[in-house]
Amino acid sequence: MKKFTLVFAATAVFTATPLAFADSAAEASATLLKMLDSARNNDVVALYDWLPESYRNDVSAVMKDFAKKIDADVYNAVRETVVAIAEVGIAKPEFVAKAKFNDSMPDAETVAFVSSALKNLAEKLTLETLAENDVAEILAHDGVAEILKRAEVRIPEIKITAAKTNDDGTVTISIDVAGNVKNGASNKLLNFQFDNEGENERNVVYRNIGGSWLPAEFAEKWKLGVADFHKTIADGGLEIDDETKEEIIGLAAALKLFLTNAARSRNQNQMEQNLMLAFLRLSMFANMYKSENLNVDMEIKMKSDGE
């Protein structure tokens, strides 16, 4: 009886193992195709749900740390500036659409549509909202959905030519990328294009993490990225001294003034002039900040060389 049981168990194991390997390869392949489809349809909620629970917890922890450490006055000043930018597009969509800053500006309807959604989203993203850690709710917010309606993700056609389960439980998927994608619709505000670079045929290793199949390279970069962020927070990476805080808040006030004037402009030239003044003010701040950091770096290097 024991001998029969042992033989039966061994037979079951050797029979089930190829099936399990085949199932893993099939699951990983189906996940790849499903995620590509979600990306093409701008379904960020599905993409977020695809992440394993531990990764979603990482996102919540990052948001919570950010909300806890960032200076509230600085964050609110930046958020209010984003609202002011959106209000220009809401008030003067026809002027923005004809602006000479970009050769491929969207039409006035798209500008108004997305500007309203952006304002709606910016008003939602308070520090209190970020601290609540409900990322899924934020991604499902009307502002995100409305913006994504006017975005287009263009990904080359990808065909799976083979998939096999490796001894360590990972799955190697062989894919054939069918060239580059063609330019999409001109009325889209945001265009994300992923062109094929290098060989058309390539192998991608997938790893099962918490029930979700992820590219092994993505999983490794995720782990390193989360660790780097928490280290940056621990090292005071979000701390701002009083002088810098005053400069940022002053910059935000100046930008809001120019943007408010742009929203009240009576003609195209007035709006473009005010937007240009806002851009120049921002450029001056960026150059000053870059120069200060360069001086600090040089000072540190000189001290180091002297030692």
From 262, 281, 270, select the one nearest 91 (Cα to Cα).
262
Q: What is the pLDDT of residue 158?
A: 84
Query: Which strands make up the sheet holding 201-209, listed edge to edge?
Result: 158-165, 171-177, 201-209, 212-215
In the structure, what pLDDT confidence band is assigned to residue 293 with cuts at 50, 70 and 90? Answer: low
**Per mean pLDDT, which of 137-151, 196-210, 226-240 is the most reliable?**
226-240
pTM metric for this prediction: 0.72
pLDDT at 184: 46
Give the residue-averaged pLDDT of 39-55: 88
pLDDT of amino acid 261: 96
Residue with tokens 């009083």: 242
The alpha carbon of residue 64 and the mean position of all alpha carbons in its chain are separated, in whole angstroms, by 17
Kindly report which listed range (10-14, 59-63, 120-124, 136-140) carries the lowest average pLDDT score.
Answer: 10-14
Query: pLDDT (tens digit, 9 = 90+) per residue, 232-283?
Result: 988 888 888 999 999 999 999 999 999 999 999 999 999 999 999 999 999 9
Q: Which of 60-64, 149-153, 267-271 has the highest mean pLDDT?
A: 267-271
| More confident: 199 or 82 | 82
Mean pLDDT of 163-174: 94
CB neighbours of residue 138 within 10 Å:
19
Distance CA 89, CA 110 (A): 9
Mean pLDDT of 26-40: 90
How many Å apart are CA 192 and CA 154, to the nearest integer?
6
